[in-house]
Amino acid sequence: MADLLRRTLASRAMSEHAKDPRNWPDEMRKEWGSDGGATAAHSHRERCFSAFRAVREKLDRFEPDFVVIFGDDQYENFVEDIVPPFCLYIMDEIASRPFERELPRVNIWNEASSTVFTHRGHAEAARYIMNRLGDEGVYLPYAYRLRSPRGLAHAFINTLMYLDAERRGFSYPVIPWHVNCYGGALVRLRGGRLSRREVDAEPDPPAPSAAACFELGRAVARALQKSPWRAALIASSSWSHAFLTSKNDCIYPDHGSDRARLDELREDRCASWRDLTRAQLEDAGQHELLNWAALAGAMVELGHKAQLIDFVETYVLNSNKCFAAWTP
């Protein structure tokens, strides 16, 4: 992520004012330090992995029959042929190759680019959920296979890899629920390969609203309450992203907006996320908070209370990370 900031600063589109560290917030200069964020990155990762271990411990104590993951799709399965607001994937087994890239990339586990991660799905439960939503008059897209040749989209496979950072295995079946957090923008820009100057001015069809995501979560919770299974729900995404926060020259996240969401979580006011407007989310670089809005809807429906595990803030590592757990 420090490399992402370096590339952003090197961009011709970046103003000289934004490139000059003297114009950065004090905390950002301190975090960048004399090593380009390397020391901060190490500390940031340790805190994140400690929080992931805490989440995994809670998951293991609960022993769910499956996990439903709300995650975004970044030009991985939602491409030119169809861009739905949501899509649930009904599969019995999922094979993923997250390190397979045109250019090899080192990872902290020293795992080869050919490494395959295989996770069980739960097709029966996925069909059950969709059928119960249909009973309520909620009809949504679903699919029996992933379009991405590398398997699970990064929002999902990263979550599973980090929840198994010690590589003890992740035996719980997985139901991926994709949320179109970016509307049509990533598709029209070919996943970021085109610039906005190369497309017409008419805005892309939007992402689903926070209210739509919240209500989806409520409906999923009602369906699961009637089911014979124990289910865990996970929202996969960081909060404000620097590269999406134009008002900060795309170099650091919107800490003010993230802290407001954090206060709402701590004070059990996540129901207010339903009223977040698209303009608010996009102004704050919080596009992916839509995944959390779906989770919040489910937790409000069930009457569960949030417990904050950690909130890891950063100026130079692209995004703030929140870890929390809701329990009865």
Does residue 73 carry a pLDDT above 60?
yes
Q: What is the per-residue DSSP string for 32-80?
A: HTTTTTHHHHHHHHHHHHHHHHHHHHHHHHH--SEEEEEEE-SSSSSBT
Confidence (pLDDT) at 270: 96
Confidence (pLDDT) at 82: 85
Q: What number is the average pLDDT over the span 219-231?
A: 97
Banded model confidence at residue 2, pLDDT cuts 50, 70, 90? confident
C-alpha distances (whole Å) from 30 to each of 21, 38, 121, 145 are: 10, 12, 44, 46
Does residue 198 carry a pLDDT above 80?
no
Q: What percent of the chain has pLDDT over 70?
A: 94
Distance CA 189, CA 105 (A): 24
Q: 């992933």: which residue's tokens?
A: 146
Q: What number is the average pLDDT over the span 49-56?
A: 98
Q: What number is the average pLDDT over the span 97-113?
A: 86
Number of structural domains in the chain: 1
Name the residue among 155, 171, 178, 219 with its Cα closest to residue 66: 171
Banded model confidence at residue 102, pLDDT cuts 50, 70, 90? low
Confidence (pLDDT) at 183: 81
Does residue 191 carry a pLDDT above 60?
no
Does residue 170 carry a pLDDT above 80?
yes
Q: Which residues contact 257 (CB under 8 A, 6 or more apart)?
A: 240, 280, 283, 284, 286
Confidence (pLDDT) at 13: 83
Domain that holds residue 6: 2-327
Banded model confidence at residue 104, pLDDT cuts 50, 70, 90? low
241 by DSSP, 3-state: which?
A: strand
Q: What is the per-residue DSSP string for 74-142?
A: SSSSSBTTB--SEEEE--SEEEE-TT--SS----TT---TT--EEEE--HHHHHHHHHHHHHTT----E
Residues in the chain: 328
Whether pTM exceeds 0.85:
yes
Q: What number is the average pLDDT over the span 250-279?
A: 97
Any idea what the CATH number is for the domain that residue 64 is in? 3.40.830.10
* Strand 142-143, strand 93-96: pairing: unpaired
Tens of pLDDT along 270-296?
Answer: 999 999 999 999 999 999 999 999 999
Centroid of chain to Cα 168 = 23
Q: What is the DSSP letter of 319?
A: B
Output the six-digit token pair for 209: 């609203």
Distance CA 176, CA 161 (A): 14
Output the six-digit token pair for 86: 């949501």
